[in-house]
Amino acid sequence: MRIFKYFLVGGVAATVDIGFFSFFTGYLNWSWLPISIATFILATLVNYVLSIKYVFESGIKHKRHTELVCVFIVSGLALFVNQFVLYIAIEYLSWPLLASKFLATGLVFFWNYFGRSKFVFTTN
């Protein structure tokens, strides 16, 4: 049941990430590299807030500020993978920006869930 809830929360965060990415790169024609980092960080914050409200119990394994730092450490690896996938898909494979972003987002989803459930929050 927890992964289903995380899937919904992750879907909201992914919508924020992909929506802002699409707006800034597609509509405003800004460079994909800094925008993908900024939207990923924003989506991580959205995911954290929704996760502690609907998916995980906050403050059990770590104090809240430590918990947030741990979320960003776990997400740091996900950001690296996200950027690597985007770079390969866009620069080498010449995929469209949005298709590349969907692929990158999908690939990091499971790492984020696993990392948060194992390293950040307690699993009951």
pLDDT one-digit tens code per residue, 35-61 = 999 999 999 999 989 988 998 877 778
Quick one: which of 71, 64, 70 has its CA closest to 6?
A: 71
Evaluate the CA torsion angle 28, 30, 34, 40 in order and state its sign: positive
Domain region containing 56: 2-120
Mean pLDDT rounded to a whole number for the chain: 91
Residue 50: per-residue pLDDT: 94
- For 112, other C-beta atoms within 10 Å of its C-beta total 22
- Listed in order, strand segments (DSSP E) in 22-104 are none
pLDDT one-digit tens code per residue, 62-78 = 788 888 888 889 999 99
Enter the pTM of the model.
0.87
| Distance (Å) of CA 4 to CA 30, 51, 81, 103, 110 | 34, 12, 23, 20, 12
Count of structural domains, the chain: 1
